[in-house]
Amino acid sequence: MFPELNNLLNTTPDRAEQGKLTLLCDAKTDGSFLVHHFLSFYLKANCKVCFVALIQSFSHYNIVGQKLGVNLTMARERGQLVFLEGLKSAVDVFFQAQEKPHPLQFLREASAGNLKPLFEFVRDALKPVDSGAAGWTYPVLLVDDLSVLLSLGLGAVAVLDFIHYCRATLCWELKGNVVVLVHDSGDVEDEENDILLNGLSHQSHLILRAEGLATGFCRDVHGQLRILWRRPSQSTSQRDQSLTYQYKIQDRSVSFFAKGMSPAVL
């Protein structure tokens, strides 16, 4: 994980908050470094993690995870990590007979309806285990990324319903966390994606938005990160707090600095 990002969020694995929905968003840049951070963060916090990976393969996440100090293969073998590899699972749905509903069963439906099988997969993966089994601190659902579900034919309402049920089970009943990534299509006319992004923004306790630079590519500044904390229980004046930093992604870390304070600028 990236220590500098932990410092910005004022959190560490041993005192991570529970019962929260975190929205990761990227616009005109790649926000996958945020997914890798939270995956390694929660594994180091001894959480039970269900990772719905719809973009990359398991080996990709495992290689990056090793650079950040976690071994996804070992975590999966000991039952801490439940990994749904979307790319491989999609092939199984189309070409292999299924004895029971597949988490991505909607791919075989003439009109994509709901994500009930996917929710049931997440619920079963993260349900409390017997006292004799390994005990994890709390459950976490991580999705990379929800925008893919829209591209596969699902509507924004169906995806929001899926997140609602996941929150009800994980955040409220089990006091766990949900972390999801959504792309911001920006200038592109995409009403469904806008509905999804706005709906999740209103539900989220923390929003991390990675943005490309308005000036274009820069070798020493890769983008800027907007951090928004939302505290519904606080008074109106203290409800939302936001900060903006620029960042540079390195091989094993990410450096953050105030806007205009990059060494390249100085």
3-state secondary structure of 211: strand
Tokens describing residue 166? 């996941």
Look at residue 26 and tell me if it is in a domain: yes
Sheet strand arrangement including 81-85? 81-85, 48-53, 139-144, 177-183, 21-27, 206-211, 223-230, 240-249, 254-257
Domain that holds residue 207: 3-213+225-231
Q: Is the per-residue pLDDT at 132 higher than 50?
A: no
Look at residue 15 and tell me if it is in a domain: yes
Task: From 99, 127, 98, 116, select the one nearest 161 (Cα to Cα).
Answer: 116
pLDDT tens for 199-246 read 999 999 999 999 988 776 677 788 899 999 987 555 555 567 888 888
pLDDT tens for 247-259 read 888 877 788 877 7
Q: Is the pTM of this model over 0.85?
A: yes
pLDDT tens for 23-44 read 999 998 889 999 999 999 999 9
The whole-angstrom separation of Cα 119 and Cα 167 is 11
Look at residue 241 and tell me if it is in a domain: no
Q: Are 138 and 181 in contact (CB under 8 A)?
A: no
Residue 89 has what pLDDT? 78
Q: Are 142 and 182 in contact (CB under 8 A)?
A: no
Look at residue 197 and tell me if it is in a domain: yes
Look at residue 250 and tell me if it is in a domain: no
CATH code of the domain in which 176 resides: 3.40.50.300
Residue 1 has what pLDDT? 59
Number of domains forming the structure of the chain: 1
